[in-house]
Amino acid sequence: MEHATNVEQVIKRFPKAGRDSLIPILQAVQEEQGYLSEDAVVRISRHLKIPTSKVYGVATFYNQFRFQPKGKYHVVVCRGTACHVKGSAKVLDMVTKALKIEPGKTTRDKMFSLEVVACMGACGLAPVVNLNGEFYAKVTPMKLHRIIEECRTKERGNG
Amino acid sequence: MSTFTIEANGQKLEAKKGETILSTLKRANIKVPTLCHIEGLPPAGACRMCVVEVEGSPNLVPSCSFPVAEGMKIKTNSPQVIHTRRTIIELLLANHPDDCLYCVRGGNCDLQSLARNHGVQVRRFRGARNRRDKDISGPSIQREPDKCILCGKCVRICEEIQGVSAIDFLQRGSKSVVGTAFDKGLNVSSCINCGQCIVVCPTGALHERSNVDDVLRALNDPESFVVVQHAPAVSVTIAEEFGMKPGADMDGKMVAALRRIGFKRVFDTSFTADLTIMEEGSELAHRVATGGVLPMMTSCSPGWIKFVETFYPEFTPNLSTCKSPQQMMGAIVKTYFAQREGLDPKKIVSISIMPCTAKKFEASRPEMGRDYTQDVDYVLTTRELADLFRIAGLDPATMEPEAPDTPFGERSSAGKLFGATGGVMEAAVRSVHFLLTGKELEELKIEDFRGMKGSKELHVKVGDLNVGAVVVSSLGQARRLLDEIKAGGRKDIHFIEVMTCPGGCINGGGQPIGTDIEAVKARMKALYQIDRDAPLRVSHRNKWVQRLYDEFLGKPLGEKSHQLLHTHYHKRDVMV
Ligand code: SF4
Ligand code: SF4
Ligand code: SF4
Ligand code: FES
């Protein structure tokens, strides 16, 4: 319910919104909630009088929107040109296999979530991965695997 | 309108200014294949299947969207055109599951026949086979997205004709799919089960939930007493499934074929259409006399009912509480008929044959039955009936016509008119006039309610009352009307007939695949012909309906009617 009120408050910032405000509203709601919940999409579509299928269709067209809350560990893999040249495809491939999720998704235990971005503007450090705000430079599949394992060990310790 | 001459394949054609190349060619019976084009809707230009060569133009042009120009010289079958078409087909097949043998549309698929007609025999482009989960959640409609070629027709029909927008394009690029909000099952979407998306789909990506096997099982169960009813639109359509010209009425032949298959009784849904008129007409008269909720809206089209429950719940009190003719038949078969024949209602399996996919949903509504039995057990579409005939090796055209069974075989032609838009209204006006004034209408045929127009209306003098009657077909039309009423307009209307599918049941989502408007018109004409020639043309003079009231129901809107023939509606919480 807390979420719901937040969404309503965000929507209220766009009182005379029409179809062309769809993207800004989606961005604002994701900013607030961290993702676009079903409830949020329904509220947005009601506000803009656009069918939910359309709102969802538009939102899935762009990589920036996610539909599950972030995990405790949020992994962002850069797929910009520099990172690509330095082998980010392999890094991404490893992490999707290790976490068993596609970009944009969150693991069932809500521990990890994965995101892919076009460029983080840290090309000198390519390939770059960001974990909960912390940058990791010159990441190899092996290195990232170790980082993920460290997180898991820490969690097991906590549990 | 100004016309001029163009040339296609060396042949001179008359073209109208402003129309597309495709329209001109079509009139001249020159065929150009299309995949994404829907007759009557603005061109989408998505598939490029319809390209033609225009002299002087450097590139091929899509004929579905390109306007004709004076003196234009077109080639529809030049080597370049054929090569392009073939390449498009080959690209579409690159990730396609080649499942034709196991596919509902095998033998009746645009993609398959295009490939065959263009001599595509090897897989030139090899992509990873599409693998996407089927959506079998819907009560009426099932989706197989891996057979989808993204032509977008379903999306546009759902939005532009039906005003529902249950589905749309999701994701992008190579991940593009057609799906619902959050890619959930159709059963929890705003889909109203009309099946209009199925009839426009060029492939097997959309089809009805089949009940053919359930029916075969029932027919082979010695414990079951299997009865069948058929809707008004089916007998004027089924001929087309067996290669005959549209517009033939095969009523008697179809009855004979149904008996051969093993149905113990063959009833006519038009009988309960007459019954519906008695109940609904009385309900209207009652609402007018007692200041009840008006305008009253018809309730025989289950897609429309779910539409109101989903998008306009504030109008549920306007819906007539009458069950549809299908459900009324189901209810009296398992009560009156069972008693009459000394049968255990639980042993009766009640089948209905409908031009409609939403009827499957309707039959499964929890309100529709009693004592843990459903009014109607299985619904087959016209297409499934054709499948059933083919399985049984029957060609109805070769049968000697037979009469339907008593007690629910007799019908007025007013009941038969239920199959076309305006037909319920025409039947209702004939009977309401009699019920309120004691006199028959002088002219039974009411021209204003006839024809394919999406919205029709007439003010009819019934006694002292000037009844405002409006008829709409397609939910896009219904939406416009409801919005007008919501905004406080149209206080002059008393009664509204809504059919979910454009043109009515004759163009239902369970009818033959394809959108041949001429075929739909021929079916409509066949219904009008039946009405013109019928000895009994008004519902209130149906002897067996009267007998049903005398022996069992009592009177219209009486207690028994209330229990068996009426229902209620509720707001639906789905993602709209
Ligand atoms: S959709 Fe058409 S081409 Fe594809 S498997 Fe079915 S019949 Fe074959
Ligand atoms: S059945 Fe009707 S409402 Fe449902 S998706 Fe198809 S066109 Fe839309
Ligand atoms: S489901 Fe059928 S109609 Fe819809 S986009 Fe796919 S192929 Fe076209
Ligand atoms: S039919 Fe013309 S582009 Fe598809």
Can you give the residue ranges of every domain in chain B? 3-77, 92-208, 213-565
**Partners of residue A61 on adjacent β-strands:** none
User: C-alpha distances in angstroms, B418 versus A132, B233, B380, B425, B539?
Assistant: 64, 8, 18, 8, 11
Are A129 and A85 in the same domain? yes
pLDDT at A18: 82
What pLDDT shows up at residue A131? Answer: 94
Of A42, A45, A53, the CB nearest to B167: A53
Q: Does the pLDDT of residue B506 top 70, yes or no?
A: yes
pLDDT tens per residue, range B339-388: 999 999 999 999 999 999 999 999 999 999 988 899 999 999 999 999 99
| CA distance to B28, B34, B146, per residue, from B22 (Å) | 10, 9, 30
Residue A110 has pLDDT above 50, yes or no: yes
* Domain at B92-208, CATH from 3.40.50.2000, 3.30.200.20, 2.40.10.10, 3.30.70.20: 3.30.70.20
Same structural domain, A39 and A81: no
Range from A11-25, B24-38, B72-86, B257-271 carrying the lowest mean pLDDT: A11-25
> Taking Cα atoms as reference points, which of A140, A153, A54, A66 lies closest to residue A111?
A153
Q: What is the CATH number of domain B213-565?
A: 3.40.50.1780
In this structure, is residue A68 part of a structural domain? Answer: no
Query: Contact A51/B190 with Cβ under 8 angstroms?
Result: yes
Give the model confidence (pLDDT) of A113-147 as tens digits: 999 988 888 888 889 999 999 999 999 999 999 99
- Mean pLDDT, to the nearest integer, of B107-129? 93
Residue closest to A54 by CA, chosen among B575, B305, B500, B135:
B575
Burial (Cβ within 10 Å: 0-12, 13-18, ≥19) of residue B398: exposed
Residue B53: the pLDDT is 97
Question: What residues of A are in contact with residue B169 (Cβ under 8 Å)?
Answer: 57
Which residues of chain B neighbour A55 with C-beta distances below 8 Å? 181
Residue A64 is predicted with a pLDDT of 86
User: Has residue A11 got a pLDDT over 80?
Assistant: yes
What's the rounded Cα separation, in Å, for the pair B246 and B237?
7
Residue A66 resides in a domain: no
Residue B253 near residue B241 (C-beta atoms within 8 A): no
Q: How confident is the model over B145-161, as pLDDT tens digits? A: 999 999 999 999 999 99
In this complex, which of B167, B182, B189 lies closest to A67 when CB atoms are compared? Answer: B182
Q: How many domains does chain A have?
A: 2
Structure tokens at B119: 């001599």
Coil, helix or strand for B360? Answer: helix
d(CA B144, CA B210): 14
Ligand 4 proximal residues by C-beta, below 6 Å: B 34-37, 45-50, 62, 64
Instruction: Say whether residue A60 is in contact with chain B using an 8 A CB cutoff.
Output: yes
Rounded to whole angstroms, the Cα distance separating B413 from B334 reads 25
* Reported ipTM: 0.90
- Compute the distance between CA of residue B356 and CA of residue B194 in angstroms, rounded to an integer: 7
**In chain A, what percentage of residues exceed pLDDT 70?**
97
Q: Between residues 19 and 38 of chain A, which touch chain B (CB distance below 8 Å)?
A: 38
The pTM is what?
A: 0.94
Over residues B541-575, the pLDDT tens digits come to 999 999 999 999 999 999 999 999 999 999 998 88
Tell me which residue has its CA closest to atom 3 in ligand 3.
B201
Across chain B, mean pLDDT equals: 96
How many pairs of residues across A and B have Cβ atoms under 8 Å apart?
A: 51
- Dist. CA A89–CA B428, nearest whole Å: 68
Q: Which of A53, A55, A66 to substitute to test the interface with B, most B CBs within 10 Å? A: A53
Based on the fold, state whether residues A107 and A146 are members of the same structural domain: yes
Residues B164-196, buried b or exposed e (16+ Cβ, 10 A)?
A: bbbbbbbeeeeeebbbbbbbbbbbbbbbbbbbb
Residue B358 · residue B500 · CB < 8 Å: yes
The Cα–Cα gap between B74 and B28 comes to 13
Does the structure show a pLDDT above 70 at A1? no
Cα B42 from chain centroid (whole Å): 22
% helix, strand, coil for chain A, step of 5: 55, 10, 35
Parallel, antiparallel, or unpaired for β B141-143 and B177-179? unpaired
Q: What is the mean pLDDT of residues B160-182?
A: 95
Looking at domain B3-77, which CATH architecture does it have? Roll (3.10)
pLDDT tens profile B200-234: 999 999 999 999 999 999 999 999 999 999 999 99
The answer to whether the CB atoms of A51 and B170 lie below 8 A apart is no
Interface test with A, best of B135, B158, B168 (most A CBs within 10 A): B168
How far apart are the CA of B407 and the centre of ligand 3, in A?
44
Question: Contact at 8 Å (CB) between B207 and B151?
Answer: no
Average pLDDT, stretch B239-246? 95
pLDDT at B445 over 60: yes
Percentage of chain B exceeding pLDDT 90: 94
Least Cα separation, residue A54 to chain B (angstroms): 6
pLDDT tens digits along A140-159: 999 999 999 999 999 888 76
Is the Cβ–Cβ distance between B408 and B336 less than 8 Å? Answer: no
Question: Do A53 and A33 share a structural domain?
Answer: yes
Is the pLDDT confidence value at B463 over 90? no
